Amino acid sequence: MALIPTLFTVATLGGGLWYWQRNRLRSRERLIASYSFPQRLRIKLQETYPHLDADQVGQVLLGLREYFQLCRMAGRRMVAMPSQVVDVAWHEFILYTRQYQTFCSKGLGRFLHHVPHDAMPDAQTASEGIRRAWRLACIREGIPPQAATHLPLLFALDAQLGIADGFHYRLDCGAPPGSFRGDGYCASHIGGSSGCASGCGGSNSSDSAGNSDGGSGCGGGCGGGGGD
């Protein structure tokens, strides 16, 4: 007879733990979505890219929120940065060390380290990071990762905003050069089964592995992962 109350207690505790965990994850998602970034991020973006207007800068900061959401979803697994302009905003945010640390703790439950490409263990880690970014970004926007009809925000921003040193992606990998803004990285190489390489701060015409004209490189920037 004592077994029944024990099982009931375990089930109750398990249900309570699940409810607490779900609320904690939702709270982190809401914090990232509503967080007020330092004004300096806007200033830095317009200094670096003077052609961006206020609304376009707002799109970049929306992209930064999305990147943090992907990192939240990934747990401690590394997520590559698909956008050069968003990476600039991330770099600037990190300079506010106390504020950034508090944001990471409350929004991610850990400190999100910035990992340059040359500090990653190997090329496979970088490749997995950009694939993970693609998959999670597609999930966030309701896009089939292996049959995307349009690019997720983080993969579209650099081309949309005319970021000359950015990562430009295209879905139509058979399109001739010039039909897409910049040469472009082939997005199907990320969502599909073929391999890819990623670079940190590379251009849209040639990645760190030497691929060009929309070759096998998947683009991508530095990554965020690990944590204390």
189/173 Cα distance (integer angstroms): 9
Domain shared by 23 and 99, yes or no: no
Q: What share of the chain is helix, strand, coil (3-state, %, to 5)?
A: 50, 5, 40
Number of domains, the chain:
2
Domain shared by 45 and 11, yes or no: no
186/83 Cα distance (integer angstroms): 15
Domain shared by 9 and 80, yes or no: no
Contacts (Cβ under 8 Å, ≥6 apart) of 4: none
Domain shared by 20 and 89, yes or no: no
- Predicted local distance difference test score (pLDDT) of residue 185: 80
Domain shared by 136 and 112, yes or no: yes
- Predicted local distance difference test score (pLDDT) of residue 17: 54
- Predicted local distance difference test score (pLDDT) of residue 155: 95
Domain shared by 23 and 82, yes or no: no
- Predicted local distance difference test score (pLDDT) of residue 3: 56
143/136 Cα distance (integer angstroms): 10
Are 145 and 139 a contacting pair, CB within 8 Å?
A: yes
CA within 13 Å, CB half, 226: 10
Residue span of the structural domain in which 83 resides: 35-225
Domain shared by 12 and 47, yes or no: no
Domain shared by 87 and 15, yes or no: no
Predicted TM-score (pTM) of this structure: 0.77
- pLDDT tens string, the chain, 228 residues long: the values are 555 667 666 656 666 655 556 777 789 999 999 999 999 999 999 999 999 999 999 999 999 999 999 999 999 899 999 999 999 999 999 999 999 999 999 999 999 998 876 666 677 777 899 999 999 999 999 999 988 999 999 999 999 999 999 999 988 776 554 444 445 687 766 765 444 433 333 333 333 323 333 333 456 667 776 665
Dihedral in degrees, nearest 10, Cα atoms 128, 88, 165, 197: -10
